[in-house]
A and B are shown apart, each in its own frame.
Chain A
Amino acid sequence: AQSVTQLGSHVSVSEGALVLLRCNYSSSVPPYLFWYVQYPNQGLQLLLKYTSAATLVKGINGFEAEFKKSETSFHLTKPSAHMSDAAEYFCAVSKPSYGKLTFGQGTILTVHP
Chain B
Amino acid sequence: NAGVTQTPKFRVLKTGQSMTLLCAQDMNHEYMYWYRQDPGMGLRLIHYSVGEGTTAKGEVPDGYNVSRLKKQNFLLGLESAAPSQTSVYFCASREDRGHGETQYFGPGTRLLVL
The chain A residues found within 8 Å of chain B, CB to CB, are: 9, 32, 34, 36, 41-46, 49, 51-52, 90, 94-101, 103-106
13 A-B pairs, CB-CB below 8 angstroms?
A: A41-B108, A43-B107, A46-B102, A46-B103, A49-B102, A51-B100, A90-B42, A95-B99, A98-B50, A99-B99, A99-B103, A103-B43, A104-B42
Whether B103 and A105, one on each chain, are in contact in the complex, defined by CB atoms closer than 8 angstroms, is: no
A100: which of B48, B90, B100, B107 is its contact (CB, 8 Å)? Answer: B48
Report how far A52 CA is from B98 CA in the complex, Å: 13
A43: which of B42, B45, B105 is its contact (CB, 8 Å)? Answer: B105
Report how far A106 CA is from B98 CA in the complex, Å: 25
Closest residue on chain A to residue B43 by CB atoms: A103
| Cβ contacts under 8 Å, B33 to chain A | 100-101
The range of chain B's interface size is 20 to 34
Whether A44 and B31, one on each chain, are in contact in the complex, defined by CB atoms closer than 8 angstroms, is: no
Known contacts A99-B94, A100-B33; is A9 also within 8 Å of B99 by CB?
A: no
Whether B40 and A9, one on each chain, are in contact in the complex, defined by CB atoms closer than 8 angstroms, is: yes
Report how far A44 CA is from B45 CA in the complex, Å: 14
Q: Verify if B2 is at the interface (C-beta below 8 Å from A).
A: no
| Cβ contacts under 8 Å, A36 to chain B | 105
Give the Cβ gap from B87 to chain A, nearest Cβ, in Å. 14
Q: Which of B48, B100, B105 has its CB near the most chain A CB atoms (within 10 A)? A: B100
| Cβ contacts under 8 Å, A34 to chain B | 102
Whether A106 and B40, one on each chain, are in contact in the complex, defined by CB atoms closer than 8 angstroms, is: yes
Known contacts A44-B90, A94-B99; is A101 also within 8 Å of B43 by CB?
A: yes
Give the Cβ gap from A12 to chain B, nearest Cβ, in Å. 17
| Cβ contacts under 8 Å, A9 to chain B | 40
